Amino acid sequence: MNEWTQHLAQSLAEAGVGEQERLVVAASGGVDSTVLLHLLHALGRNVVVGHVNHHARGAASELDQQAVEAWCEERNWTCEVLHLDPEALAQGEQGFQGEARKQRMAWLETLRTSHDASAILTGHHADDQAETWLLQAMRSRTPWTLTGMSLRTGHWVRPLLSFPKKELIALAQTSGWPWREDESNTDDKYARNRIRHEVLPLLEDIRPGTAAHLVQLSSRMQELSLMMAPLLDEAAQRAQPKSDQWSLEVLRTDAWAREALRAFLRTSGWGQALADQALDLATGAHQVGALVSHLGGRMVLERDHLCWQVLSPQKEDAAPALALAWRGEGIEVDGLRTGGRSGASQAVSLAWSVGARPQDPGQTPLDACWIPRSWFPLTWRTWRAGDRIQPLGMQGQSKISDVLTQAKVPHHLRTEVRVLERTSDQCILWVGGLKLSEHARLDTSEATAEPGAWFYLEHVQPLTSDA
């Protein structure tokens, strides 16, 4: 017993947990959390216990809760309980196990904050570590991620991680500490349970000590992962001339740079398969403008780099088509959006003021368009495939897509470009900030024209790769 408490005290110290700090302990009532609670009590630690009742096993779930509550009451420890709806969990996008884990972790974090605790302790042991490593090896194609669980991750601490479960059971039995058995742990429909009941026993039969070896391998991979971090940072600096750009030349010639991009995408929530698709944009045969998107971001292939663009959840509705009517007064329409180089949207305004047309029509800038009153109503909308404009001074028409290419508008910003359209005949008068139409020409014959309106974008920075 003394040996166990000494080890626990040492593990907590290594994890940076002070002796006087309050702790939240996740307790299911099983043997691992039961042993952890007894050892913490022997050390005299300040503990708040958190128990989750999933209500998935009928009366057994209620007995688990009662056992944990009774144990805490005997020792005058605070016990908090979270009740979950098993049907709602099963219908969640991550399934029962995934949704339960997500809600459990979020609730325990809330407990930690509300009780002013420094850490959340779990009873994970060496068998859990071996199972986790095998699951990672089955799912990941990146060797640096095969690290298993750490002693501490953020506020989460696993002080029993080096002990196999059989030793925890032996300690509980010899000490007379009763625990609850979760029957769902025997259900082999879950991958972890099959590894626990079928794979690891078979590996132990083939080579005794395999589980312990996997725990040691996990620890070694954690060390190597820490050693890799500065190398990947250096590679990222080589590959990123700007924060939102990854050089194609560097990615094609530097393996470390490719690993740095994979690491960057992992931190953005991308899986390995998607990360490989993004890398294939750099190394494969793709046309400029090809892209891979996931969650809140996308990688777009430009001429000499991959562009990383953060997507707003409201992106599609950020700038709906606007019907503009004549009001005879200055008007500002706020809330339109145009993409910045970082991918984040920047607010702009479309505004017009009422007055006489310019004295020198030849000086009309591309970021402005003069419209007579008779042309109203107008529509300000996102350009669409097939849209055409008759450029100022030309006889024929040009595709809007060609206008954007000539203006060197990056592909990841082209969805942000908008056009001014005469509603009556769908004639495009202006590609905002880029190209005026021949139909919007100002000539001297209109010197006596009625006062009209100047349209202009207050954000006049051109949407080019050099902007």
Residues 6+ apart with CB under 8 A from 166: none
Residue 116 has pLDDT above 70, yes or no: yes
183 by Cβ neighbours in 10 Å (0-12 / 13-18 / 19+) ranks as: exposed
3-state secondary structure 324-384: ECCCCCCEEEEEEEEECCCCCEEEEEEEEEEECCCCCHHHCCCCEEEECHHHCCEEEEECC
Report the amino acid identity of residue 300.
Answer: V
What does the pLDDT look like over 252-272, one tens digit per residue?
Answer: 999 999 999 988 888 887 877
Q: pLDDT-derived band of residue 95, with 50, 70 and 90 as boundaries? A: confident
Give pLDDT, residue 449. Answer: 46
Q: Which residue has the higher pLDDT, 415 or 159?
A: 159
Q: pLDDT-derived band of residue 306, with 50, 70 and 90 as boundaries? A: very high
Would you tell me how many other CB atoms lie within 10 Å of the CB of residue 146? 21
∠ CA 28-32-34, nearest 5°, is: 65
Cα separation, 252 vs 283, whole angstroms = 6
Residues 6+ apart with CB under 8 A from 133: 146, 148, 214, 215, 217, 218
Model-level pTM? 0.60
Q: pLDDT-derived band of residue 312, with 50, 70 and 90 as boundaries? A: low
> What is the CA 41 to chain-centroid distance, rounded?
39
Structure tokens at 380: 């300000």
Output the CA torsion 316→317→323→328 (10° steps): -120
Give pLDDT, residue 111. Answer: 94
Tell me the pairing of strands 47-53 and 23-26: parallel
Give pLDDT, residue 183. Answer: 78
H or E stretch including 49? strand 47-53
pLDDT (mean) for 365-374: 68
Q: pLDDT-derived band of residue 198, with 50, 70 and 90 as boundaries? A: very high
Give pLDDT, residue 45. Answer: 94
Residue pair 319/332 in contact (Cβ under 8 Å)? The answer is no
H or E stretch including 6? helix 2-14
pLDDT (mean) for 36-58: 94
pLDDT (mean) for 130-135: 91
What does the pLDDT look like over 140-162, one tens digit per residue?
Answer: 777 777 888 999 999 999 999 99
Cα separation, 63 vs 43, whole angstroms = 27
Strand partners, 379: 323, 421
Averaged pLDDT of the chain: 81
Which residue from 234, 259, 228, 252 is spatially nearest to 306, judged by alpha carbons?
252
Structure tokens at 453: 């309106």
Give pLDDT, residue 358. Answer: 56
Give pLDDT, residue 38. Answer: 95
Report the amino acid identity of residue 36.
Answer: L
Cis geometry, peptide bond prior to residue 377 (ω within 30 degrees of 0): yes
Which residue from 341, 288, 344, 282 is spatially nearest to 315, judged by alpha carbons?
344
Q: List, in sequence order, the alpha helices (H) in 182-333.
A: 191-194, 200-206, 210-239, 248-253, 255-267, 272-283
Residue pair 209/234 in contact (Cβ under 8 Å)? The answer is no
End-to-end Cα distance, the chain: 68
The percent of the chain in helix, strand and coil, each rounded to the nearest 5, is 45, 20, 35
Q: Map tokens 């207050």 to a residue.
A: 458
Give pLDDT, residue 461. Answer: 39
Helix (H, G, I), strand (E, B) or coil at 457: strand
Cα separation, 457 vs 455, whole angstroms = 7
Q: pLDDT-derived band of residue 37, with 50, 70 and 90 as boundaries? A: very high
Would you tell me how many other CB atoms lie within 10 Å of the CB of residue 231? 12
Q: Which residue has the higher pLDDT, 71 or 453?
A: 71
Would you tell me how many other CB atoms lie within 10 Å of the CB of residue 439? 15
Residue 121 has pLDDT above 60, yes or no: yes
What is 2-217's CATH superfamily?
HUPs (3.40.50.620)
Phi/psi for 171 (5° steps) reads: -65, -45
Structural domain boundaries in the chain: 2-217, 240-310, 317-457
Q: How far is CA 273 from each of CA 191, 266, 291, 378, rounded to the nearest angstrom?
A: 21, 11, 14, 46
